[in-house]
Structure 1
Amino acid sequence: MTTYTRKTFDEVMIQNYVPADFIPVKGKGSRVWDQQGREYIDFSGGIAVNALGHCPEDIVAVLRRQGETLWHSSNWFTSEPTLALASELVAHTFAERVMFANSGAEANEAALKLARRYAVDHFGYQKSKVISFKQSFHGRTLFTVSVGGQPKYSDGFGPKPGDILHVEFNNLDTVKAVIDDHTCAVIVEPIQGESGVIPAEPEFLQGLRELCDQYSALLIFDEVQTGVGRTGYLYAYQHYGVTPDILTSAKALANGFPISAMLTTDKIAASFKPGVHGTTFGGNPLACAVGAKVVETIARPEFLQGVQQRSVLFKQALRELNGQFGLFCDIRGEGLLIGAELIEKYRGQASHFVKAAAAQGVMILQAGPNVLRFTPALNISEQDIRCGIERLALALAEF
């Protein structure tokens, strides 16, 4: 039997990633084991994806049952699991219509295309401007990476899609300076995840809503990372009390099975007439069956309350850790999307902390070069939180 190692990655894979030195082979709950049988506490959650942990039994049961029934039938047909998941999302959100795709980038691509098509249908081709925010992240397609506010990801691929502006996050005046009757959409993350776990101020999102209404522009919330319970609410817009026109969801939607969704209203959805946009795998029965069970589970009020309780515990543990080591200048975020920003002395070294944590048996993330990011399973046990923090303390002691 062939043995694959980390060296194999360097030999056969395109080198656009730099994975950890160890290879996980098994996961259960919030614990992971590598090829050597070493155990890790998982505070990364597959980058906010494994909301119910690794291999939860009730989700595995759904996967097996649907896997023996119907995997894929294409969008020439619909399926019962597709309709079940769409119905769950409509029942628990502002949305009246849902479209499924396979990734957050595809959901955002669909949202941006829908916004421009809606503008063309109702106002004409001149209404095409998209306003986004510096340091935002919306995906890796050419359109979404251009809308994202990080040139390091969008430069070097030739001409970019036009009529896209980037202004300062949490600064409403910069939006007021550029929004006009030619603006078709404003796209925003309620919490900027990849750039450092930076929550939007409530007044900022409310101001965006009012400006979009004033200029007949659509407000798009990118909830790829914040959605499906991550902030202690099913979607973060419910915490802020600001309702978008279009919302995108992915990551945790099927607990690791690839799927995404774009949610919107009847009126806006009407601009996606048959043939205007599509996807081969989006909404396939296997992904939707898993997603329907995930949403049903996480949408329960008692589950979401548990996320908020764990958030308090996790942040307090990090503050106690910081009292011991004094490494963080800020600990922020909502629910179990938490960022700990390193003090000036250790700026640029987040990746070193991530490696040191792995060496002590705890998996964490970074959000940019200066912020440690924690996105554990939403149902992680108090015991696993304590154990992971103890291991993290050993890693931080090295610094």
Structure 2
Amino acid sequence: MTATLTEREHAHFLQTYKRLALEVDHAEGMYVQTLNGDRYLDFLGGIAVNALGHSHPRVIAAIEQQLRRYMHLSNYFYQGAQITFVEKLCQLSGYDRAFLSNSGTEAADGAIKFARAWGHPQGKSTVIGFTGGFHGRTYGALSIMEKPRYKDGMGPFLPDCLVLPFNDLEALRGAMDGTVCGVFIEHLQGEGGIEWATEEFVRELFALRQQHGFLVIADEVQAGAGRTGTLFGFNRFNVRPDVVTVAKGIGGGLPLGAILTTEELAATWGAGQHGTTFGGNAVACAAGLVVLEELENGLMENVRTTGEYLRKRLQELQEEFPAIIRDVRGAGAMMGLGLHLPADPFVQELLNRKIIANSTSETVIRLLPPYIFQPEHVDELVLNLRSIFQTTQA
């Protein structure tokens, strides 16, 4: 008897993932299809990666075209696919320079190095993160996070790293001791429960930057690349961070990340001070260019309009089930349904009804659909959520 995919995975993989009980055959648009023919509506989008949905024809065509030219050369060469992608990324973002990586956590670790390289001549090495923040699972990223389940038993972590309470003005002010070189912030936290920074907190952070001299580093790995209806989550606050990290959605489904910064700060790194073998892979850049072009050509308008429709429908559920639903949070294609109860059972029941979502921060149903989602997809989600909540309430 042939072993199932599940059995084969269990036989050879380190068991670091709590996988869904789905053996996938293929995916297209908003749907994932399993080997047994079941079709699932995808409101997770590869954890905020599949911005254009699954198997987008323009992405496939761009990948195929680049594959015929070459797949990999390394960063010893001038490559059109890389350069064209970065030109478009800088044009849309308003930043001058980029370093390409494979992932968000690589971008975060690189940004820590960048902040310390910038602060070194001034004797500044402290890097600050916030509770609820998530920057990845490499050592640098973990060092500026308070996530015991990701960190326990694996220390010590990097020195001179602080994790302050999110949105706590006094804690932020109290950390300004003259040694701070960088402050990492997700203006909209993903793993932290789809929580926005407050206007007051963001204003104070940038005021302290002017007063004390440090870099504000915006982690836009999850909330960026158009997911909230603007290119970056921080656009909501009308601020300009010194450094921005991006990944997930910018690669069109392939591994791609970036560190963005200004011309003024670019000289912080010289030749050899940072690098990567695979970062900025030509095939990934070809796919990523399609994403940026689609964002430029109006896709974010759909994120805004359908995202607002999603918010409206979720708020209707909140009014109908106040004993279950605490609040509706987020923006665009990054929404959360805050519950008074643990979220996992509701996420599992959605899966039983062939809808993929996930939970975060224990009591939040997190929704990260591809940007191509339409009102009919929202209606299908809400119809099933209502049925689940009715059963729970009964």
TM-score of the superposed pair, with normalisation by structure 1: 0.94
Counterpart pick for 1:222 among 219, 222, 245:
219
- Using the alignment, how far apart are the partners of 1:342 and 1:292 within structure 2? 38
Alpha-carbon shift at residue 149 of structure 1 (Å) = 2.4
Counterpart pick for 1:386 among 372, 379, 387:
379
Cα deviation code 1:316-373 (max 9, x no counterpart): 1112233444421011112111111111xx2xx3222111101001011111211100
Which residue of 1 is the match for residue 234 of structure 2? 237
Q: 1:315-354, aligned counterparts within 5 Å?
A: 315-326=311-322, 327-343=324-340, 346=341, 349-354=342-347
Cα deviation code 1:46-101 (max 9, x no counterpart): 11111111111111111111111121110111210100111011111231100000
* Runs of 4+ displaced beyond 4 Å: none
SS at match of 2:159: coil
Alpha-carbon shift at residue 158 of structure 1 (Å) = 2.9
Alpha-carbon shift at residue 268 of structure 1 (Å) = 1.7
SS at match of 1:294: helix
Alpha-carbon shift at residue 180 of structure 1 (Å) = 2.6
- Using the alignment, how far apart are the partners of 1:23 and 1:320 within structure 2? 34
1:105 lines up with 2:105 in the alignment: yes
Counterpart pick for 2:303 among 301, 307, 315:
307
Aligned residues: 391
Q: Unpaired segments of 5 or more residues in structure 1?
A: none
SS at match of 2:54: coil
Which residue of 2 is the match for residue 153 of structure 1? 150
Indicate conservation of the 8 Å contact 1:185/1:212, yes or no. no
Aligned residue type for 1:81: A
Indicate conservation of the 8 Å contact 2:142/2:157, yes or no. no
- Using the alignment, how far apart are the partners of 1:67 and 1:239 within structure 2? 38
Counterpart pick for 1:374 among 367, 382, 387:
367
Q: 1:260-279, aligned counterparts within 5 Å?
A: 260-279=257-276
SS at match of 2:18: coil
Note closer, same or farther for the CA distance 1:384–1:263 as it changes in structure 2 (3 Å cut): same
Indicate conservation of the 8 Å contact 1:31/1:39, yes or no. yes
- Using the alignment, how far apart are the partners of 2:256 and 2:299 within structure 1? 22
Which residue of 2 is the match for residue 78 of structure 1? 78
Indicate conservation of the 8 Å contact 1:360/1:395, yes or no. no
- Using the alignment, how far apart are the partners of 1:281 and 1:2 within structure 2? 36
Aligned residue type for 2:267: A
Aligned residue type for 2:375: E
SS at match of 1:357: helix
Indicate conservation of the 8 Å contact 1:229/1:298, yes or no. yes
- Using the alignment, how far apart are the partners of 1:303 and 1:88 within structure 2? 16
Indicate conservation of the 8 Å contact 1:246/1:262, yes or no. yes
- Using the alignment, how far apart are the partners of 2:131 and 2:37 within structure 1? 42
Note closer, same or farther for the CA distance 1:128–1:82 as it changes in structure 2 (3 Å cut): same
TM-score of the superposed pair, with normalisation by structure 2: 0.96
Indicate conservation of the 8 Å contact 2:252/2:284, yes or no. no
Alpha-carbon shift at residue 173 of structure 1 (Å) = 1.8
- Using the alignment, how far apart are the partners of 2:84 and 2:34 within structure 1? 36
- Using the alignment, how far apart are the partners of 1:79 and 1:130 within structure 2? 34
SS at match of 1:116: helix
SS at match of 1:19: coil
Indicate conservation of the 8 Å contact 2:192/2:360, yes or no. yes
Alpha-carbon shift at residue 40 of structure 1 (Å) = 1.0
Q: 1:1-399, aligned counterparts within 5 Å?
A: 4-120=4-120, 122-123=121-122, 126-300=123-297, 302-326=298-322, 327-343=324-340, 346=341, 349-399=342-392
Aligned sequence identity (%): 34
Indicate conservation of the 8 Å contact 2:127/2:181, yes or no. yes
Aligned residue type for 1:317: R
Cα deviation code 1:82-122 (max 9, x no counterpart): 001110111112311000000100001111100100111x4
Note closer, same or farther for the CA distance 1:393–1:35 as it changes in structure 2 (3 Å cut): farther
Cα deviation code 1:220-240 (max 9, x no counterpart): 000000011101001122221
SS at match of 2:55: coil
Indicate conservation of the 8 Å contact 1:48/1:225, yes or no. yes
Indicate conservation of the 8 Å contact 1:103/1:259, yes or no. yes
Cα deviation code 1:263-304 (max 9, x no counterpart): 00122221211111111100111111111111111133x322
SS at match of 2:69: coil
- Using the alignment, how far apart are the partners of 2:80 and 2:5 within structure 1? 41
- Using the alignment, how far apart are the partners of 1:151 and 1:179 within structure 2? 25
Aligned residue type for 1:271: T
- Using the alignment, how far apart are the partners of 2:94 and 2:85 within structure 1? 15
Indicate conservation of the 8 Å contact 1:131/1:179, yes or no. no
- Using the alignment, how far apart are the partners of 2:97 and 2:2 within structure 1? 47
Indicate conservation of the 8 Å contact 2:308/2:331, yes or no. no
- Using the alignment, how far apart are the partners of 2:328 and 2:247 within structure 1? 25
SS at match of 1:68: helix
When structure 1 is superposed on structure 2, of 144-153 and 227-236 the one drifting more is: 144-153
Aligned residue type for 2:38: R
Aligned residue type for 2:277: T
